[in-house]
Structure 1
Amino acid sequence: MKFTNLERLLPFGYLILVILGIVKESVFYYFIGVNILKYSNLMDVLISPISDLTSHPIVLGGFSFYVLLLYIYFIYISKNTDKKWVQKLLKTENLSEKPTDEEIKIRLGNKFLSVTAFGVMTFFLGIGIGNGKKVSGAINANKIKYNHSITFSSNKTKIVYLIGSNSANIFYVEKGNKNVKISPIGAVETIEFLKTKK
């Protein structure tokens, strides 16, 4: 595989990750009735893709495994370029002249990047839709676990289900209330994780 203009593609790739991060956050918070873009700043948007990938070891591991598996698959394809199904995949079966090794490497690199980009898009959208529906359904069915305690600067404490947070706000559902509440980070003194009984 050969990647042409990789130094130009990397910033573009990060821009796509940022856009997908925004879409993922927007879709997730849409299901719980919040327009997240109204409550986010530029820094939240820029770190969104990285925070999504590193949010849980399983997510990072699964994503890394996907990219590695895809890379191994394309290495296998590069060693079988004489087979018809590979020629069809790379669209070289109807060319008047047999492509050079260099051309095949470039085609493989482009195909790898496009398949990886599609996988990343599916990954982010899947997380947004899946988690959004799950949290929204749990709130509506009153099946969420209130596993956080928030103490505000006014010394008032609330038992909540913490939906998420960014650099400016926290989003939560208070025990006994199905409405999503938003509080500025500056008003929060502490957030305590409550151990739930097994």
Structure 2
Amino acid sequence: MKYSEEIQKLLPLGYIYLVILGILKESIFYYQLGINILKYSTIMDILLSPIAEFTSNPITLLFIISLFVFHYNLPKIFLKYRNNRTLQKIFELKSEEKLSEDEIKNYYIFASFKMFAVILLSFFIGTGVAGGYSTIHRIRENKIDYNYTLNYNSGESKQIYLISTNSIYYFYVEKGDKSIQIAPIGSIKNIKKGLKVGILAK
């Protein structure tokens, strides 16, 4: 079986794994804010959560693409330098003396994806923990920028710090109030954002 065919077989399982990681990251992030995010999410929010995370800023997207390209080619590197003891020690590869050629290829593909999966798990958990902690700390210390104006259908306006949003809710903190508020998107006329220039500007 061709190498590309082996990769194609793993893609559906890979996306399911990404969705699980997306749920885990969002749950960890919002748990620190006292919110059970699954109660406020649709199936589409859950399915798109890993894509939303990857495209959250250009640096994250570049990191994920680079990571994928590297691990896609890693089995070929393993095969090319299969007798390199240093490489085997670094990546903790087992001996292949009793394996057939096809079994060796499959083993290297599995080893590469296993490392990729562990790195992604660390990335999602790390961003969930760090993001949630940073957000709640900045809210408590009043170190947030109220650079959004939320205009309700009723005509009421609020100056807010926008924590996040999904397909049906806005999660925000109103200026002068440290409590986290949740507003249905249907009740909002529009939202205005102050101009902030920079590659990481949100």
TM-score strictly above 0.5: yes
Equivalent runs, 1:105-124 vs 2, <5 Å: 105-124=105-124
Question: Cα deviation per residue 1:65-85 (whole Å; 9 max; x = unaligned)?
Answer: 222334455433321112334
RMSD, matched Cα? 2.2
TM-score under structure 1 length normalisation: 0.88
2:39 aligns with 38
Shift of 1:86: 4.6
> Does the CA-based 8 Å contact 1:80-1:86 persist in structure 2?
yes
2:136 aligns with 136
Question: Cα deviation per residue 1:73-124 (whole Å; 9 max; x = unaligned)?
Answer: 543332111233455633116x5x4x33322211111101111111111111
Larger relative contact order (CA 8 Å, sep ≥ 6): 1
1:63 aligns with 64
Identical columns (%): 39
> Does the CA-based 8 Å contact 1:90-1:107 persist in structure 2?
no
1:164 aligns with 164
Name stretches of at least 5 consecutive residues in structure 2 with no aligned partner. Answer: 198-202
Name stretches of at least 5 consecutive residues in structure 1 with no aligned partner. Answer: none
Q: Aligned pairs, how many?
A: 194
Question: Cα deviation per residue 1:161-190 (whole Å; 9 max; x = unaligned)?
Answer: 000111111000000111000000000001
1:47 aligns with 48
> Does the CA-based 8 Å contact 1:4-1:106 persist in structure 2?
no
Could you tell me how far apart the structure 1 residues matched to 2:70 and 2:181 are?
41
> Does the CA-based 8 Å contact 2:29-2:128 persist in structure 1?
yes
Shift of 1:5: 5.1
Letter in 2 for 1:91: K
2:200 aligns with none
Letter in 2 for 1:82: N
**Compared CA separation, residues 157 and 33, structure 1 to 2 (3 A):** same
Could you tell me how far apart the structure 2 residues matched to 1:142 and 1:80 are?
54
**Compared CA separation, residues 159 and 126, structure 1 to 2 (3 A):** same
2:93 aligns with 90
Give the secondary-structure state (helix, strand or coil) at the position aligned to 1:178. Answer: coil
Give the secondary-structure state (helix, strand or coil) at the position aligned to 1:167. Answer: coil
Give the secondary-structure state (helix, strand or coil) at the position aligned to 1:143. Answer: coil
Shift of 1:129: 1.1
> Does the CA-based 8 Å contact 1:26-1:36 persist in structure 2?
yes
> Does the CA-based 8 Å contact 1:150-1:191 persist in structure 2?
yes
1:147 aligns with 147
TM-score under structure 2 length normalisation: 0.87
Shift of 1:127: 1.4
